[in-house]
Structure 1
Amino acid sequence: MEKSLIIALDFAGKQEVFQFLKQFNGEKLFVKVGMELFYQEGPSIIYDLKEKGHDIFLDLKLHDIPNTVKGAMKGLARLGCDLVNVHAAGGKEMMEAALEGLEAGTLAGQKRPFCIAVTQLTSTSEEQMQEEQLIHVPLEESVLHYAALAKTAGLDGVVCSPFESKQIHHLMGESFLTVTPGIRLKTDHVQDQKRVATPEFAKSEGVSAIVVGRSITKSENSLEKYIEIKRSWEGVHQ
C-alpha cells in the first residue's frame, strides 16, 4: 500500500458525504468509512464510493469470537474495500480467522483487502489503559505487544499512534503497515484524541498512512485544508 492520506468520512449519511466530496472535483481519494456511516447506509455507501473511483478503508474494528469474525470478513471482502481492520485484543486466533474469511470472500481475480489490527486507540491514555483495562505495562509496550501478535497472525499492519510507528517498523519490518489517526495541524483542536501529532511528525516517524477527519471535514474550506495537510505529509513546501 502506498503512503496515503486517508480522509475519515465521519458523516451521518450519504447525502452529507457526497455534498462534501463535491469540493474535490472528481479527484480520486482514499477515504475511511467508519461505524457511524456504515451502520446508517450499509454496503451501498461502499458501492457508491467505489463507483466514483475512491479507495476505501472500512473501519469497523471487528472484535468477536473467531468464527463470527471469519464469517463477517468473508462478507465484507465481497464489497471490494482496500483496507479493513480488527481489534488486536481479540487475539491471534481471531486475527487468523479474519484473514481466512477475507481470503475466502475475495472475488476471483481481485486482491484481498489489507487487514490491520487496532492496538490501543489514540483516544486512550496510558493512565486509562492501566486503570480501566488493567494492563499494567507502559502504553508503548502494550502497542508493541499487540503489533507483534498481529504480525504473528499474518496481518498486514496495525493502527497505532505516530509515536510507536518507528519502533514497530524497526521490529516488524518496513512493509508492516502503520496507520495512524489523531493527526492534527498545530493550529487544530485536539478534541477527544489524546496522542495526537502533526503530519510532519508522522512523516518523520515513517508512518505508512495518516487518517485525518474533522481537521478536514469540519474546515470552512475542506479542499484547501486537505491540500495543506497533504503537502505537509508529503514534505512539499510552497
Structure 2
Amino acid sequence: MSASSPVIVALDYAQMTPALELAASLDPSACRLKVGKELFTAAGPVLVERLQSMGFEVFLDLKFHDIPNTVAGALRSAAALGVWMVNVHVSGGRRMLEASAEALSGLTAPPLLIGVTVLTSMDAKDFSELACANSLPEQVLRLASLAKDCGLQGVVCSAQEASTLREQLGSPFALVTPGIRPAGATQDDQRRVLTPVEAMDAGSSYLVVGRPITRAEDPAAALHAINESLCVSR
C-alpha cells in the first residue's frame, strides 16, 4: 500500500513490541514508517518484515557510511528486504555514493536512495567545531549537489534548507526533512526545525515526525491532525 501522506513516522523505540503496538494504531495509507539504528539493532530484519506485512512502506534509516564495497553490499541486503527507502552519508564521498547507486541500479524495484547531508540535531555552533570551510547552509547545498550528481534520488536535510535546495536542484529530487514539529510542540534534541506546513511550503517532499506522534496520548489523532493541516494548507 502506498501512503497518500508525506508523513514518515519515526519509530524511535528500543524494542520491537512498542514499535509494533504503535504501528498497529496507525493507518498505512496515512503515513510511512522509519526504522532507525537503535530499533533495527535490537529487532533486526524481522521487524521490517512485520511492518511490511501490516501494509506499511518502510524507510530503513541506517545512514551507511563506510568503504564503497561495504556500503554497496549493505544496500543490496536492505533492498532484499523490500524496503521503500534507504540512506547513506553523503560525506562518504563520490566513490561510495556512485557505488551505492550502482548497487541498486539493476534491481526491478529498488528502494529510493537518499543521502544524509548535515544532521538536523546540529546548529551553526555545533557545525563550526568540525572546522569546515563552508558555512552550514553552504555545506548542505554542496553535499546535496554531490548526491544528485552521483545518482541519488534525494537527500535528508533540515526543512530550513529545503527552499534553497529545491531552487538549486529542482524536482523530482526528494527532500526528506526530519526535525518537524507541529506548532506548540517542544524541539527536543532537534535544532533546525519547522512546522509541517512550513516544511511543505519550503519544498519538502517527505516529513519525518517522531515524538509529536509516538508520544502523543492518541498517536492516530496526532497523525490525523498533521495530515489535516497539510490538506487544508495545500
Task: Please classify the TM superposition score into its range, dividing by the shorter chain length.
Answer: over 0.9
Evaluate the alpha carbon distance shift between residue 233 and residue 28 of structure 1 in structure 2; reply closer, same or farther with a 3 A threshold. closer
Corresponding residue number in structure 2 for 1:175 = 172
Q: Which residue, out of 31, 34, 37, partners 1:32? A: 34
Deviation per CA, 1:155-197: give whole Å up to 9, x if none. 0010001111121121111101100000001211111011011
Backbone CA RMSD of aligned residues: 1.8
Corresponding residue number in structure 1 for 2:223 = 226
Corresponding residue number in structure 1 for 2:48 = 46
Q: Distance in 2 between matches of 1:121 and 1:187?
A: 23
Evaluate the alpha carbon distance shift between residue 29 and residue 3 of structure 1 in structure 2; reply closer, same or farther with a 3 A threshold. closer
Q: Distance in 1 between matches of 2:57 and 2:28?
A: 13
What percentage of aligned pairs have identical amino acids?
40
Q: Distance in 2 between matches of 1:209 and 1:64?
A: 26
Alignment of 1:58-137 (within 5 A): 58-103=60-105, 106=107, 110-131=108-129, 133-137=130-134
Q: Distance in 2 between matches of 1:128 and 1:91?
A: 21
Q: Distance in 2 between matches of 1:95 and 1:158?
A: 12
Structure 2 alignment gaps of length 5 or more: none
SS in 1 for 2:25: helix
Deviation at 1:28, TM superposition (A): 5.8
Evaluate the alpha carbon distance shift between residue 234 and residue 95 of structure 1 in structure 2; reply closer, same or farther with a 3 A threshold. farther
Q: Distance in 2 between matches of 1:155 and 1:170?
A: 17
Tell me if the contact between 1:69 and 1:94 (Cα under 8 Å) persists in the aligned partners.
yes
Deviation at 1:38, TM superposition (A): 0.5
Evaluate the alpha carbon distance shift between residue 54 and residue 137 of structure 1 in structure 2; reply closer, same or farther with a 3 A threshold. same
TM-score by length of 2: 0.94
Q: Distance in 2 between matches of 1:60 and 1:92?
A: 19
Q: Which residue type is aligned with residue 227 of structure 2?
A: K
Deviation at 1:126, TM superposition (A): 1.3
Tell me if the contact between 2:89 and 2:115 (Cα under 8 Å) persists in the aligned partners.
yes
TM-score by length of 1: 0.92
SS in 2 for 1:189: coil
Evaluate the alpha carbon distance shift between residue 68 and residue 23 of structure 1 in structure 2; reply closer, same or farther with a 3 A threshold. same
Q: Distance in 1 between matches of 2:182 and 2:31?
A: 20
Tell me if the contact between 2:5 and 2:30 (Cα under 8 Å) persists in the aligned partners.
no
Tell me if the contact between 1:203 and 1:234 (Cα under 8 Å) persists in the aligned partners.
no
Tell me if the contact between 1:143 and 1:160 (Cα under 8 Å) persists in the aligned partners.
yes
Corresponding residue number in structure 2 for 1:151 = 148
Q: Which residue, out of 204, 207, 214, partners 2:204? A: 207
Moved beyond 3 Å, runs of 4+: 25-29, 234-237
Bigger drift between 52-61 and 11-20 goes to 11-20
